[in-house]
Amino acid sequence: MSGPEIRRHVPVLPSFLTYLTPASGETVLDATIGLGGHAAALLQATAPDGKLIGVDADEAHLALARENLKDFGDRVELHHANFREIPAMTFAPVDILFADLGLCSMHLDDTARGFSFASDAPLDMRFDRSRGKTAADIVADFSEEQLFHVFAEFGELPRSHALASRIVHVRKNLPMTHASHLCDVAEEIYRWKAKAMLPQIFQALRIVVNDEVGALDALLRAIPTLLRVGGRCGIMSYQSIDDRAVKRAFRALATSSKDTVTGAVRRESSFELVTKKAVRAGTEEVSRNPRARSVSFRVIRKHA
């Protein structure tokens, strides 16, 4: 029996190690291990005895990560779970918490997954195919008002009401189960602008299918308990909704509590911002890896 196909992942923003400052013997929690590109770099930086705990919702990714990281032996521990479940896991506090929130190119390339409008795939979009509703379920079951909310909030789409209304009308006579069905509706609503709107339409559905906003919120709220003193948390975002959430959470953690009347500091913050602004990829990296164009990387450190 052959093993999993080996696919290497070129990590976005190689300079991420500069901000996380991994050291020999440290423990890393990679909340979105993917194919293991960033994990390999972190394992090399924490050699010879550092540990890495890797989590991913996609079993296919875990299989490939396990193969890609096999040379690191028992320094690697992998778990099949969504990162929303990390707070409930029995991990001791770690030195580094890392998450890359980007959509893996492997998801887009796999036509059976329905993440891309480039092929007429079934509308699935689940990271974890063992559970949960598909995008086709969302399109079929959500009310017009719910669909409007999905496209307006998570896709930031103009004419979200018209798009939701048209989907509800079309599905009465045609089950919208494939990417082409959404593409056809988009062309009706947006005409020549449809091609530019499709990424946002698919993004909005993917976010809801995987409850990405809720999962990120759970991870951000758990940062104080997941990190030991001196620990660093770094998160890579690729869409504005995620980066805004990370920015707000990090700033809140790094802000001291003050008396509402006197303004005196009541409780000093136990965190400090390592990156005052989001770190972005330079022109040279973007030319090598176009996926890096939209990355925003923020890091925070627990000092007490």
The pLDDT value recorded for residue 106 is: 67
Closest CA to 181 of 142, 211, 169: 169
**What is the tens place of the pLDDT at every residue in 230-289?**
999 999 999 999 999 999 999 999 998 765 666 666 677 899 999 999 999 888 888 887
Q: Domain coordinates of the chain in residue numbers?
A: 16-106+212-302, 129-209
Nearest to 32 by CA among 4, 51, 11: 11
Q: What are phi and psi of 36, to 5 degrees?
A: 95, 15
Of 130-139, 197-206, 277-286, the one with minimum mean pLDDT is 277-286
Buried b (16+ CB within 10 A) or exposed e, 61-100: bbbbbbbbbeebeebbebeebbbbebeeeebeebbbbbbb
Q: Which CATH number fits domain 129-209: 3.30.70.270, 3.30.450.20, 3.40.50.300, 1.10.150.170?
A: 1.10.150.170
- Residue among 182, 162, 161, 179 at smallest CA distance from 171: 182
**In the predicted structure, residue 4 carries a pLDDT above the cut 50:** no
Q: What is the architecture of the domain spanning 16-106+212-302?
A: 3-Layer(aba) Sandwich (3.40)
Residues in contact with 21: Cβ distance below 8 Å, sequence separation at least 6, in sequence order: 232
Give exposure, 102-111, as e/b (b: 16+ Cβ within 10 Å): bbbbbbeebe
Q: Measure the CA–CA gap between 120 and 198, rounded to whole angstroms.
A: 13
pLDDT band of residue 199 (cuts 50, 70, 90) is: very high
- Over residues 50-109, the pLDDT tens digits come to 999 999 999 988 999 999 999 999 999 999 999 999 999 988 999 999 999 987 666 666
Rounded Cα gap, residues 247 and 243, in angstroms: 6
Average pLDDT value for the chain? 90
Model confidence at 130, pLDDT cuts 50, 70, 90, reads confident
